[in-house]
Structure 1
Amino acid sequence: MREDHLPSCQQVGTMPVRFRIPYHHPEAVNRIAAELGAHLQPELQSGSSLVLLCLGTDRSTGDALGPLVGSQVEAARTSPYHVYGTLAEPVHAANLPDKLKEIRACHHRPFVLAVDASLGNSESVGYINVGTGPLLPGAGVKKNLPPVGDLHITGVVNVGGFLEYLVLQNTRLNLVMRQAQVIAQALLQAIDHPQSLKLIASV
């Protein structure tokens, strides 16, 4: 597998988690949005640039979570996020260092919210996690990449611990899509753009 096709997915347990909820919980969007808003609203009001860094590749079903989120938030148009990582232009193992340099050079006081897929135990599959501080992209597939993010969101897409590349490539797209929709809606609701929510709900 070429380096630019390598997943960025990480293993659950490699970063602190403040909040977690299954994607199908009826209050998942509202609760994730409230958790995110507590961190993002003050940054927005203080003049920080909100950078949404969505890690992953569209060449692996399980690792497409980040690009799916990035594409949906970018499609909303009215959000204040500067989006890096979409299905059209993914941020992956090969270009992550350059993207981080670009973010530092192009944005005033960037506050980076990182989104990535993760692997965990069977009871955690389907959960969405929110944590403070950086995540470690690539930890789930033994890839050494720089830590990223002031805040992070991860979606547990499958079970880890064995043949991670194969597991990611055989992850159900339906699960990844539904997690991505919840995360995207929560991101937009966190900074309160009702028109964006209507658009994203129809994707």
Structure 2
Amino acid sequence: MNFKDKFSKEEKRVNTEDPAMSDQLSTYLQEWLPPSKEIVIACIGTDRSTGDSFGPLVGSMLHDHPFETFHIYGTLEEPLHALNLKERLTTIRKNHPNPYILAIDACLGKSSSVGSVILGKGSLSPGSALKKDLPPVGQLHISGMVNVSGFMEHVVLQNTRLHIVMKMAAKVAAAIQLTEAKRKQVYMESNPIQTFTTSSRTYKKRIP
């Protein structure tokens, strides 16, 4: 759970209530993610708090999707949270040397921004809303504004409506799935010979 009270030019903001939100977020992701690298998506949070479950919900929604350019870490079953974050980041870097990490986490902010999803360049600071000292994560990040900051943040998180968090997580997961499809399409267009060769081999294997 991080904290946002200001927005910068290095951020894009979309709203959960916008019917085109997933398409817009996918367009921004496609523009900002490096096209030739495999991306680690670190979904941060815990299933023990409604407000802080945004990241793990996104991870669970994506976990069984057959991604080729994304690797998903952090789900409701195996959350990436304050108690294991440093250890899991070490594991991620062992499995993916020099990874490009897209970090996803819930955040608190102004009441007028609740329901917004922010895509920002640079790392986010997990636990900052709760005054926890955790390492920054990501070269790019998505923050879901789930509730208001300023007073008794632990209680605020526990009393965040699950409906808001679920709706936000579903739209972010859809945006990431759309982005995967776009990245694959770009790869196919930029590598037509290799794609044709691979397709031909696959086809030949299916001939009895």
Shared fold per TM-score greater than 0.5: yes
Structure 1 stretch displaced more, 13-22 or 57-66: 13-22
Unaligned 5+ residue runs, structure 1?
A: 1-8, 194-203
Letter of the 1:30 counterpart: D
Match of 2:3 among 7, 11, 16: 11
Calculate percent identity across the aligned residue pairs: 44
Q: Describe how 1:53-92 pairs up with structure 2 within 5 A.
A: 53-92=42-81
Distance 1:154 1:103 in 2: 21
Q: 1:168 to 1:140 in 2, by over 3 A?
A: same
Distance 1:18 1:156 in 2: 14
1:15, distance to aligned residue in structure 2 (A): 7.7
Q: Is the 8 A contact 1:49 1:109 kept in 2?
A: no
1:79, distance to aligned residue in structure 2 (A): 4.8
Match of 1:139 among 128, 140, 161: 128
Structure 1 stretch displaced more, 169-178 or 99-108: 99-108
List structure 1 segments (4+ residues) > 3 angstroms apart after TM superposition.
Answer: 13-17
Aligned residues: CA RMSD: 1.5
Distance 1:144 1:39 in 2: 28
Question: Looking at CA atoms only, which structure, 1 or 2, has the larger radius of gyration?
Answer: 2
Q: Describe how 1:141-180 pairs up with structure 2 within 5 A.
A: 141-180=130-169
Q: Output one character per residue of 1:133-162: Cα deviation in whole Å (capped at 9) or x when no partner.
A: 000111111111110001000000001110
Match of 1:186 among 175, 191, 196: 175
1:76, distance to aligned residue in structure 2 (A): 1.5
Match of 1:38 among 24, 31, 36: 31
Letter of the 2:77 counterpart: A
1:14, distance to aligned residue in structure 2 (A): 7.2
Q: Output one character per residue of 1:73-123: Cα deviation in whole Å (capped at 9) or x when no partner.
A: 112123532111000000000100011111111113311000000001110
Task: Specify which structure has the bigger relative contact order, considering alpha-carbon pairs within 8 angstroms and separated by 6 or more residues.
Answer: 1
SS at match of 2:19: coil
SS at match of 1:192: helix
Distance 2:128 2:108 in 1: 10
SS at match of 1:165: helix
Q: Is the 8 A contact 2:70 2:180 kept in 1?
A: no
Distance 1:115 1:101 in 2: 17
1:192, distance to aligned residue in structure 2 (A): 1.3
